[in-house]
A = this chain, B = another copy of it.
């Protein structure tokens, strides 16, 4: 083994975004892992703690130019927190070097290359799609433990799939009626300089975007919901931009194919997630809120029956850069390494 210490050595390729600094935060309190390298073309040579002063005194690494070969020599587990398209370029080399890859981009989330190419662009490493495991531990825990290549889920998909899985598994949903109205904090837009993400453009405002079936998370959501449902389905998904830094709240509407009591539904949810450390099913009437999961790896789930209109409304709240990205990536790493699944992830949200 490369690392002579008892800690697993990990590297982050593309660590200068918000998921990068969040990985560094979580790894800094991880007793069994050690961050050994962070790369960034933009900031190469600068201390990570200069770019992210929250890490002063905590992380003494400097950003490096990305060199996959070099990274593979030094790290056992590699996170790619790069834009899609970039991840597929480096994945083959990482896997060939015998390293484990947890990719936070979209490149390996879809099982079908044609679907990827329809929503994104040509895929340069389609052979790896079959092998990649969709890194949602609540659905694929066993596969994750034995994977080489983990496709860490998107933030919106995490919030929606976890919300609907228990109902879909019960086969009670009219699959043609699913609408997910999701609202995300601005960190989801990344840390690149763009006018639309400026404080003055976002603060004190709210709006949808990519309306009408055009957001790239749709095929990912439909792939996983379809698997749970047992056949393909089509959803309506509308993302919105919230004037907060962190958090996703998804309000999901659907119709049940038969009359089911609130108690029955509560039982299904509780049974489905009984073993899950990061899913909190609210009591009937409970309403999830992003402020109660902020900074934590929890997914809070509530539901309500609208008897008047004959619908069920499922509501989920996560922190988009924890359970929706970096926290889930650490959760996957823990599974991969045989660590307790909640290592470094057990802290509650910070409120207020």
Which A positions have Cβ atoms within 8 angstroms of B? 18, 21-22, 25, 28-29, 52-59, 179, 181, 183, 186-187, 191-195, 197-209, 211-213, 218, 234-236, 238, 240, 242-247, 249, 251, 253, 280, 282, 287-296, 298, 300, 302, 304-309, 311, 313, 315, 317, 346-352
Contact = CB atoms under 8 A, between A and B. Distances in A.
A151 B246 CA distance: 35
Nearest to A42: B195
A199 B205 CA distance: 12
A243 B295 CA distance: 18
A52 to B, nearest CB: 6
A103 to B, nearest CB: 22
From A205, A242, A317, name the one whose CB has the most chain B CB atoms within 10 angstroms: A205
A272 to B, nearest CB: 16
A179 B238 contact: no
12 contacts: A53-B292, A54-B293, A181-B251, A193-B193, A199-B199, A211-B302, A211-B304, A211-B315, A212-B307, A234-B308, A240-B251, A295-B295
Give the 5 A-B residue pairs with the shortest CB-CB distance, closest first: A205-B291, A212-B304, A207-B289, A200-B352, A54-B351
A250 to B, nearest CB: 10
B244 A204 contact: yes
Nearest to A348: B58
